[in-house]
Structure formats: C-alpha cells, structure tokens
Chains A and B, each alone.
Chain A
Amino acid sequence: DAKTTQPNSMESNEEEPVHLPCNHSTISGTDYIHWYRQLPSQGPEYVIHGLTSNVNNRMASLAIAEDRKSSTLILHRATLRDAAVYYCILRIQGAQKLVFGQGTRLTINP
C-alpha cells in the first residue's frame, strides 16, 4: 500500500487558518489523494480529494505539490468543531479499500 507521512499532532487557535501537511513521496500517477477526518466518538468523515490540481469545497482546500509528492489540507478558519484526527490517504487505482495511517490529531484552542 502506498504510504503517507503526517505529523502526529498539531495545534492551532480558533478562527485562524490551519495547514495540515502530508508527504507521499511514492505516489504514482493514478493515485488519488483523499482526506478524511474523525471527530471524537464518530466514524471517519470525508473531507476532500484530488488528483493533480488544487481543490476547494465547503469544508476545506487541498493544495497538491507540482510533483505530487506532498499535499496540504487547508482549513481556512478553524472552529472548535474542527478538532479531530485528520487522515491523508492515497487511493490506488484498482484498489477499492482506503488504508488509514495514524493521522494528525488537531487541537483547536479557543
């Protein structure tokens, strides 16, 4: 399974932007980059995904490096509700399962 590397934890303040990094140096040309998050006592929740171009949706933005070996999930204005574990996952062409790593535990300070 293609591997991603994320910091174990990050901390930010409410109403400030948050940049969550992910390294995926072994990514291949057809692998999609997915981000999920998991709030306490809940199942994971889809956040965003992309292939090559930067992506925006109502929850977040995904910035993908030109060589695709890294990406950054951007929460533009963090709220206390954004405190969660964020998982960066490579979804391989032809493989149906998502393989979760340890993720980044994001703490938001009021």
Chain B
Amino acid sequence: GAGVSQTPSNKVTEKGKYVELRCDPISGHTALYWYRQSLGQGPEFLIYFQGTGAADDSGLPNDRFFAVRPEGSVSTLKIQRTERGDSAVYLCASSLTSGPAGELFFGEGSRLTVL
C-alpha cells in the first residue's frame, strides 16, 4: 500500500553539515506535517503545509530549519549547519483533510544523527 514514505531512513552527518530529509505523502493528501521526536519524548510539531504554502511554521526551532513543498506533494525538510542537538527522528505525516476530525498518517521517520 502507498503510505507516507520518508527518505533516508537513517542519516549520519557531521556537525556543521547541511542535511535534506524527504517526505512523499499519500497521493491526494493536501495537508502535510513535519514533527521531530527525541528519545523518550512525544513528537514535537515543526511545520504544517496546506498545499504548497506553509500555513503554520511556529514549531521550527530557529532559522537553520526550513521546509518546502513546491508542487503541493513531496516536501523537503532542510537543516543548515547541523548541531548535535538536532539529532532526532524526523517524522512526516499527511492528511486528506485539515479539519479537526481528520486523521494523520505518519511515515516511519528519518533518524538523523549529528556527530
């Protein structure tokens, strides 16, 4: 079945490097979300797209983090000048509807390790 696909599943990088994480949502889902999850914690909201536009980016921790969704489908989360504290699992989710009753479908995540 075509669920939410995230690549890479694992990424190891060095402090200061640039990283891109990709999310391929379920076809037809207009809403797309990025979360990150540190060990032992619940997922933390980063950004939400409705179509091509970022409707809520209030969770992005600082200006090193940026996300795009140029054609309203695939999204890329970009992290510049990575720091060790960026190490986490980055989760993507998509939803058919953005209303309060809508169900989010999550991918398996991209595990980022910054050495």
Binding site for B on A (CB under 8 A): 30-32, 36, 41-46, 49, 51, 85, 87, 91-103
- Decide yes or no whether B20 CB sits under 8 A from chain A: no
- Decide yes or no whether B42 CB sits under 8 A from chain A: yes
Main secondary structure of the interface of A (DSSP, over half): loop
- Decide yes or no whether B103 CB sits under 8 A from chain A: yes
B96–chain A nearest beta-carbon distance, Å: 12
In the complex, what distance in Å separates the CA atom of A102 from the CA atom of B91?
16
Tell me whether B55 and A96 are in contact (CB under 8 A): yes
A102 contact from B35, B42, B108, Cβ within 8 A: B42
Tell me whether B43 and A100 are in contact (CB under 8 A): yes
Residues 80-115 of chain B, each 1 if its beta carbon lies under 8 Å from chain A, else 0: 000000000001010000101101111111000000
Tell me whether A96 and B42 are in contact (CB under 8 A): no
